[in-house]
């Protein structure tokens, strides 16, 4: 369900397109975009839309609400929101000039945890010059049905979201130093991957609460501590399979797995082939 009052100035722009198979295959693609010079009574409320929306305020301020939370989006701030949950947005005072684009794709889903941490709306400051350039490029290309324009818009969305993620990381680093602690924990895992590591070891190292550590580890490293530990072990397995003739059992013991069977199960799941097949393929490529 959608209700709105489109109280906008002349010169506002609302563009739509139906993404092609090529567009949908990209990690980032757009279906609608616009720039609104919204006046006092501009407002929108929606119960569901099967994509995300990315806002960026040019002037004025907007009020964006979802899941019982309301945030202000000020000049040169951007925000990503998952439209699959009920939401509303409107002008806060007299005006809200803003870019907006409806986006989707595997790349957006992958960045959701970083840009909407714990499902919370999170405004991020952006360089106005860079952000405006990316949004303007998307608006210019949106209705041009060519592979080049599709690829360009995918890249522009990626750059906008990457700028936002970098801004969030910088803010977190400057305010708490938590990122440094998470990176130290990741270093500890890389150095001690052969050992029986557990979460308590990492919590003792960082002095962070369990929930906050797990949240920040995923945000900074991009996965869970356990998955990262397995990745370190599997990377070492690959090296030993490629450069030595050691048995699978010996490599399993070297890399911290309980036995060769446990290693084979994890290796096959993460690499897509058994350790023996991986070794044979590596030998044939030499």
As given in the structure block, the two tokens for residue 105 are 């794709």
Ordered by start, the domain boundaries in the chain are 2-174, 177-286
pLDDT tens digits, the chain, 286 residues: what are they?
A: 899 999 999 999 999 999 999 999 999 999 999 999 999 999 999 999 999 999 999 999 999 999 999 999 999 999 999 999 999 999 999 999 999 999 999 999 999 988 998 899 999 999 888 999 999 999 999 988 799 999 999 999 999 999 999 888 777 665 568 888 999 999 999 999 999 999 999 999 999 999 989 988 988 888 999 999 999 999 999 999 999 999 999 999 999 999 999 999 999 999 999 999 999 888 766 5
- CATH class held by domain 2-174: mainly beta
In this prediction, residue 283 carries a pLDDT of: 72
- For residue 151, report the phi and psi dihedrals to the nearest 5 degrees: -65, -40
Domains 2-174 and 177-286 share a fold: no
CB atoms within 10 A of CB 4: 13
Residue 204 buriedness (CB in 10 A; 0-12 / 13-18 / 19+): exposed
Distance CA(280)–CA(142), nearest Å, equals 47
Closest of 95, 99, 80 to residue 139, by C-alpha: 99
- CATH class held by domain 177-286: mainly alpha
Tell me the residue ranges of DSSP E strands in the chain: 2-5, 13-16, 29-39, 43-46, 52-66, 69-73, 77-82, 87-104, 124-125
Distance CA(56)–CA(139), nearest Å, equals 14
Residue 192 buriedness (CB in 10 A; 0-12 / 13-18 / 19+): middle
Distance CA(109)–CA(28), nearest Å, equals 9
As given in the structure block, the two tokens for residue 280 are 């044979």
Stated as kind and residue range, the H or E segment containing 127 is: none
């Amino acid at each position: 369900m959608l209700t709105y009052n489109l109280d906008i100035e002349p010169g506002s722009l609302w563009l739509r397109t139906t993404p092609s198979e090529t567009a949908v295959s990209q990690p980032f693609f757009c279906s609608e975009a616009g720039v609104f010079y919204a006046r006092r009574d501009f407002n929108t409320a929606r119960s569901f839309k099967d994509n995300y929306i990315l806002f960026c305020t040019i002037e004025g301020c907007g009020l964006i609400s979802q899941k019982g939370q309301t945030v202000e989006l000020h000049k040169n701030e951007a925000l990503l929101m998952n439209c699959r949950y009920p939401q509303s947005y409107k002008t806060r005072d007299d005006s809200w000039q803003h870019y907006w684009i409806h986006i989707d794709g595997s790349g957006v889903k992958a960045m959701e945890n970083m840009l909407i941490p714990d499902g919370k709306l999170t405004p991020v400051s952006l360089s106005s010059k860079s952000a405006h350039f990316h949004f303007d490029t998307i608006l210019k290309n949106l209705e041009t049905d060519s592979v080049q324009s599709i690829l360009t818009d995918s890249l522009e969305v990626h750059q906008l979201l990457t700028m936002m993620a970098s801004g969030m990381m910088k803010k977190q680093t400057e305010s708490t130093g938590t990122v440094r602690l998470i990176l130290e924990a990741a270093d500890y895992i890389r150095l001690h991957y052969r050992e029986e590591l557990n979460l308590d070891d990492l919590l003792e190292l960082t002095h962070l609460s369990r929930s906050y550590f797990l949240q920040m580890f995923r945000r900074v490293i991009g996965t869970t501590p356990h998955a990262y530990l397995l990745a370190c072990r599997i990377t070492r397995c690959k090296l030993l399979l490629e450069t030595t003739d050691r048995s699978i059992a010996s490599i399993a013991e070297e890399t911290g797995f309980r036995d060769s069977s446990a290693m084979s199960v994890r290796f096959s799941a993460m690499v897509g082939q058994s350790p023996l097949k991986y070794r044979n393929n590596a030998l044939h490529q030499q």
